[in-house]
Amino acid sequence: MRLTVILSLLFASVKACGDGNGHRHGDKGPVVTPPSRPLEWGDINVLHTTDSHGWLLGHQKASFPEPNYSGDLGDFASFVTHMKEIAKEKDVDLLLVDSGDLHDGTGLSDGFPTGGVDGHDSNEFLKQLPYDVMAIGNHELYIYANALDMHQNFAPALKGRYLSSNVNITLKDQGSTTINVPVGERFAKFKTRNGGRRVTALGVLFDFTGNDKNTTVQKVEEMVKESWFSEAIKDEPDLFLLAGHMPIARDNWPLVFNAVRAVHPSTPILILGGHTHIRDCLQMDGRSMSLESGRYLETIGAKLDNSKDASKNISFSRRYLDPNRVTYEFHTQRNNKTFDTDHGLNITKGLQDLAKKFDLNFTYGSAPHDFTLTRAQYPSNDSLLSLFIEEAAPVALTINNTRASIPNIMITNSGSQRFDLYAGSFTKNDQLTSSPFADTFQYIPGVPLSVATLVLPTLNKAGANERRELDEQLFGRGYVGKRYMKWLEDMDRRGDGAVKRAAQNLTIGYVTHDSCPGIGDDTLHAPLAFFSTPDFIASKTPDVAPDTPIDLVFVDFIENQLLGILNQLQSNKSFTTADVQPYSKVLASEVLGLYAQAAWN
């Protein structure tokens, strides 16, 4: 038997062609680089998606690397259909698996009208794809209503294959008492359609601590001790498929892996992880493989050759694909006229209709050039962080504000911005994509400028132990930015930065270095530039005397840290929460749109 994980894909969205015809134009726009070689097939092949976060319409901005990821969910659905046909012709199996985080990312998931539920409408389209296994992610649990929607409306569509091995939700039964049940199912056992191979699947979430009340995340170390877990892995299948929203490195997959290995020393194990938004691959032993599939429809794949001799290692290759029509057509041997299926076209049309329903193409203004998070130095004219805190916030937060004439310093965390902002129309969808967090702005009046100017450097100079502790707390609550940026930084360093990019005649994109042999990237790119950014950022210092009392403005997210630092920096007053007042009704997620209306028209 040969086992193969061919791909895994993730999703991103801005806007589709918008001509109302429910199709995509593969022959227009920037020219993307085709794949470097055909895919390899085995007896069991797996398409894997993770961390889609509602990005289902495809990256449609013209600036690279966005065109690399310009395929939408309808294109992917057509691709899956053709891949299933190829698998049938080859008499092999093809599984479709997802590792969680369907919510929180674009207007399709987050742009719903008042009274709606995040991701409910966009998830209806994911339900139309033939997923064999899907696992829960942490973004399904921040809000109880989202978790309840997944339990009541999404999981049933998977017919026992939506897995939440260590995640429960509390419900009221028919009486007045409550019950605690899995959001989906704890595990699944099934046979593959073509080969009839037995698969035992689990869906594990990392030790997440940011879940809403009436949801429960059991620690992984406790989950593997449960009687249901022992019963689930008791019988030997042909393959253990461990899907889950947990990084394949530096996390708790070894606990699950070792528990299975204690019972089945040589059974093939495939781990499909997620959460940190990177492409990664490793092996825990010679008869297993672990893969992580990045974010926002940016892809992965692998191949396992499984010897019947349990004493021999498994050899495999994996592939990270750029999800665009050029990639899809290359690997299915279709062209722009023969690639689309009716099913795929209907999904694309439905997504476009949903975007219109949510008014996602409402335009605030036209961005003069690209503003990026890590590909431009901070501070600089091309930095999104500079744009947000130095230009946009001082304009948006002082609109109809009685304190507009009082000098101020505004501070926020750099993680408040999530995605690059590209040249051209800046829409409602772009606002939700780039700056999605609905933090409120508060202020403390009467802080001397000489003290206020010391707050930012003190925030950014936290000691190593304090920083490590904070990073661990944030990771537990679901923040992955640090690990993702470390991956980008390492990619740029290995690629010799701008010098090598200039020497190579390649478009920019991901250049993956993982722990598995061979080249994993399906399409060759030059690495993205990377510049490190501080944890906290601030507006420009007002030109007033050092002893001038000013308004110290900050997002509620950092209130406790900021109060502690203020009390470290001076002894004239002991600041408490009683000194904190609301500064503006404008939320952080509204700042860029208001600024665009004022400055980009």
401 and 303 in a single domain? The answer is no
Chosen domain end from 302, 329, 357 = 357
Extract the tokens encoding 220. 């992984």
- Dump pLDDT digits (tens) for 353-407: 999 999 999 999 999 999 999 999 999 999 999 999 999 999 999 999 999 999 9
SS3 state of residue 140 = helix
Parts of the chain with a pLDDT under 50: 1-6, 8-27, 298, 300-307
Dihedral-angle region of residue 204 (phi above 0 means left; psi in -120 to 50 means alpha; beta otherwise): beta
Q: Whole-prediction pTM value?
A: 0.92
Quote the distance between the C-alpha of residue 384 and its chain's center: 19
- Does 527 reside within a domain? no
What is the extent of the structural domain holding 574? 363-462+535-599
Angle at 494 between CA 488 and CA 496, to 5 degrees: 105
The pLDDT value given to residue 27 = 45
Print burial letters for 264-297: b (CB count within 10 Å at least 16), e (below 16): bebbbbbbbbbbbbbbbbbbbeebbbbbbbbbbb
Residue 83: what residue type? M
128 and 172 in a single domain? The answer is yes
Chosen domain end from 324, 357, 390 = 357
Extract the tokens encoding 370. 């690209």
Burial class (CB in 10 A: 0-12, 13-18, 19+), 333: exposed
99 and 22 in a single domain? The answer is yes
- Does 481 reside within a domain? no
332 and 268 in a single domain? The answer is yes
- Does 526 reside within a domain? no
* Residue 554: CATH number of its domain: 3.90.780.10
234 and 370 in a single domain? The answer is no
The pLDDT value given to residue 299 = 53
- 581 backbone dihedrals φ, ψ, rounded to 5°: -130, 155
Residues 6+ apart with CB under 8 A from 560: none
The pLDDT value given to residue 410 = 98
Overall size of the chain counted in residues: 601
The pLDDT value given to residue 309 = 56
Of 90, 43, 52, the C-alpha closest to 71 is: 52
* Residue 323: CATH number of its domain: 3.60.21.10
